[in-house]
Amino acid sequence: MAGTEPRPTKSMDKTTELEMNMGHNFDFDMGIIGGGAAGLTVASGAAQLGAKTLLIEKEQELGGDCLHFGCVPSKTLIKSAHVYHLMKHATDYGLPAVQVSPVDFQQVSARIRGVIATIQEHDSEERFCGLGAQVKFGTARFTDEHTVTMDGKPHSAKHWVIATGSSPIAPPIPGLVDTPFITNKEIFYLDHLPPAMIVLGAGPIGIEMAQAFNRLGTRVVVVDRADQILGKEDKIMADAVMAVMAAEGVDFQLEAAITSVRDTGKVKEVDITDQQGAAHTLQADTILVAMGRGANVDGLGLDHIGVTFNGRGIAVDQRLRTNHKHIFAAGDVNGGFQFTHAAGYEGGIVVSNAIFHLPRKADYTYLPWCTYTDPELASIGMNQKTAEAAGIQTRIWEEEFKDNDRSLAEGEKIGRIRLIVDEKEKPVGVQILGPRAGDLISEWVAALNGNVKLSTIAGAIHPYPTIGEINKKVVGSLFAPKIFSDKIRKGLKFFFNLKGRACTLAEN
């Protein structure tokens, strides 16, 4: 995880910046392994700043997991599922009922491939060549601290960035290795819609896919050992997401131990023990494994050059340097936050350190994230459980989407914003469950990073009617009891002779 100071090794002590620059003539200033969000950010920044840059990618195309197996296909699929869901609920909007045909998943998959192909143009080899970076496709292995070999050819660089991302983990559940299952690598490219799917894991990937496939017509059951879905989130928010999905027909088996998995030939079976200790067997034609991710470090030769890594990923300090100070690790591979925007941010930190030689440290205090269920669940800063675990005396201000005019107009009544403040009423975090929460959180990205006063948000004009007004309203609810207090009323009456109430409701 970023922030863990690696223990200095002998070789690190020897390899000082001075030595690196003296007497060495490396092929490149910057070498990058992995052409995903982190690697592409470094390549683009370093090359445009004049560093001779080599980018190595093992697949045939750039873009990494986000483009091919992650964010882009999942959000494209989610949109198709959302539209299909709306079609089935047309009468909720005063429209005629629509008789929908079953989903042809090949059409959905074709749309996913189309969106990826369009975005792929931004991540093309030609574009990076135009920026000044040389792209090579193949698998690289470190042979010494400055050199990798690819297809038997050595390539040396003054700085290296390992940005090889992560892959889905298949835990050692009895029978799982002998049972065909899918992960995020296959799910977007299926040739038919599975009639039934067991989703192992209730993290963001499992939950997003569970809702989308259920909406498309798959019978879905989600299994997790935890007592809530989306374990990082406050339970109150995660439970609200689960309630929506359960109402749509997703079955949840929480606090469930998975004891074994098998393929009967006709169907796949998952044996679980529920929270009461009772044994059940779940059946489906498809099993999605979404039980966490492991860093892609195999075959890089890290042992050979003594780069420290553990089960979570490559150990880095706050400047994202490994125990070899000229080798950085950015993105999922360092075991930190597994988001594209985190990988991009970390790519920027690497460029600052390696190219500008600025000692810039990664700071995740206000790293936002969003789970793209419907409604979305977005978060920035601390939530209630992390704030309380940090010993902060929290006060929580809430506003519900059912009280937002635009939400009502759009038929989006579920959800709320939670503003968490400390004892000095300084905001420490915001969570939003509701329509377009991932976009709404951006106002808080600017406010928290810019140290904007809550009174500024409360006083700023927001357009009406927008869902974003909820941001202003929740801050208003914090100030309202102070402004409309008896004390203020009495003071105004005293100084300005206000006459008081003109109307009082009769008591029943």
The contact set with ligand FAD (CB under 6 A) reads 33-39, 56-59, 64-66, 69-71, 74, 139-140, 163-165, 184, 205, 296, 299-300, 331-333, 338-341, 343, 372
Q: In sequence order, what are the beta bridge partners of 430?
A: 380, 419
Residues 100 and 84 sit within 8 Å (Cβ to Cβ): yes
Residue placing its CB nearer to ligand FAD in the complex, 17 or 59 = 59
- CB of 190 or CB of 257, closer to ligand FAD: 190
Do 406 and 396 form a contact (C-beta atoms < 8 A)? no
Smallest gap from residue 130 Cβ to ligand FAD (A): 20
Task: Tell me the closest approach of the beta carbon of residue 78 to ligand FAD, in angstroms.
Answer: 9
CA distance 75 to 83: 12
For 24-48, give one letter per residue: b (16+ CB within 10 A) or e: eebebbbbbbbbbbbbbbbbbbbbe
Compute the least distance from the CB of residue 71 to ligand FAD, in Å. Answer: 4
Q: How far apart are CA 137 and CA 222, in angstroms?
A: 38
* Contacts (Cβ under 8 Å, ≥6 apart) of 211: 78, 81, 245, 248, 250, 373, 374
Task: Tell the smallest beta-carbon distance from residue 138 to ligand FAD (Å).
Answer: 7
Decide whether 3 or 175 has the Cβ nearer to ligand FAD: 3
- What's the closest the beta carbon of residue 341 comes to ligand FAD, in angstroms? 5
Could you count the other beta carbons within 10 Å of the beta carbon of residue 493? 12
Q: Output 124 or 139, the one with its CB closest to ligand FAD.
A: 139
Rounded to an integer, what distance in angstroms lies between the CA atom of residue 86 and that of residue 106?
20
Query: Residue written as tokens 């808080």?
Result: 444
Q: Which is nearer to ligand FAD, 282 or 290 (CB)?
A: 290
Least distance in Å: CB of 93 to ligand FAD?
Answer: 27
CA distances from 459 to 418, 485, 488 (A): 19, 18, 19
Cβ 409 to ligand FAD shortest distance, Å = 27
Cβ nearer to ligand FAD, comparing 269 with 332 = 332
Instruction: Output the residue with the shortest Cβ distance to ligand FAD.
Output: 36
Per-residue tokens: 251 = 């079955």
* CB 140, min distance to ligand FAD, A: 5
Q: In terms of CB distance, is 166 or 404 closer to ligand FAD? A: 166
Residue 1 CB neighbour total at 10 angstroms: 14
Question: Residue 497 is inside which H or E element, if any?
Answer: none
Of 223 and 457, which has the nearer Cβ to ligand FAD? 223
Q: How open is the CA angle 58-61-66, to the nearest 5 degrees? A: 95
